[in-house]
Amino acid sequence: MRSIHDNLQAVRERIARAAQAAGRDPGGVTLVAVSKTHPVPALAEARAAGQRAFGENYVQEAVEKMDSLREEENASPLEWHLVGPLQSNKTRVVAARFDWVHSVESEKVARRLSEARLDSQAPLNVLIQVNVSGEASKSGVAPEQVPALAAKIAVLPRLKMRGLMAIPEPGAGVERYRAIKALFDELAPLGVDTLSVGMSDDMDLAIAEGSTMVRVGTAIFGARQKIRPAA
Ligand SMILES: *Cc1c(COP(=O)(O)O)cnc(C)c1O
């Protein structure tokens, strides 16, 4: 098995190739290393290889990792992304500990996040998860509801409305990616800059179709075990 260091290097090269093929600047695509279910030493190895942004799905698991990795923290801090579903009873800890939330689906949750975010912290970066029909995930807001929700989130004081997240179903055609990008472009008047689409299997296509942030787990850390800790 290749090391996490080698895997990260290979993923970075894949991202650069996909961006260049699309005539885009590779620096315009952020890599979030999705580390759910993987232990702290795996994250530490990725960090040693220069990775800064980590994505987690389960709040409790993420907070434990943040606490263990903080002691070794060097000059450049890690950036934590919640990419899994967000339950409304977890908004306080999420607002306190994360830098990004990719899975906002309601005004209620957004409002709670804004209320819980401290004035001493930078605004919490949020993405609306959109479900363009046919997605494998049941999560996400219907496309026609996205513009109104985005406008409401954009005025919340402690949040920064950054864009959209989507999980196209495996094997989805290019038109699905284009529909997501078109919806993202509609939000341009709000100043959004982040389209979080693309995982281990589809990051190349997602980048070709305008993704600015890919969430990659398996290609960096290897396969996950089936058993998952409770959220
Ligand atoms: C697990 C997960 C990923 C990473 O998926 P891989 O196929 O392992 O790259 C990305 N995004 C979300 C929302 C996830 O839950």
Tens of pLDDT, residue by residue over 88-144, are 899 999 999 999 999 999 999 999 999 999 999 999 999 999 998 765 567 899 999
Q: What mean pLDDT value characterizes the chain?
A: 94
127 lines ligand 1 (CB under 6 A): no
159 lines ligand 1 (CB under 6 A): no
Question: What domain count does the chain have?
Answer: 1
Residue 179, number of CB atoms within 10 A of its CB: 18
Give me the pLDDT at residue 76, please.
72
Is residue 33 within 8 Å of 51, Cβ to Cβ? Answer: yes
Give the alpha-carbon dihedral of 171, 43, 121, 93, to 10 degrees: 80
CATH of the domain at 91: 3.20.20.10
Q: What is the pTM of this model?
A: 0.95
- The SS3 assignment for 143 reads helix
In a domain, 228, yes or no: no
84 lines ligand 1 (CB under 6 A): yes
140 lines ligand 1 (CB under 6 A): no
Q: What is the 32 CA–ligand 1 centroid distance (Å)?
A: 10
Greater pLDDT, 60 or 73: 60
In a domain, 25, yes or no: yes
- The SS3 assignment for 160 reads strand
Q: What is the 167 CA–ligand 1 centroid distance (Å)?
A: 9
* For residue 209, pLDDT beyond 70: yes
In a domain, 227, yes or no: no
Give me the pLDDT at residue 21, please.
98
In a domain, 70, yes or no: yes
* For residue 73, pLDDT beyond 80: no
Residue 55's domain comprises: 4-221
* For residue 42, pLDDT beyond 70: yes
Smallest CA separation from ligand 1 atom 11, residue: 215
199 lines ligand 1 (CB under 6 A): yes
- The 10s digit of each residue's pLDDT in 138-168 is 789 999 999 999 999 999 999 999 999 999 9
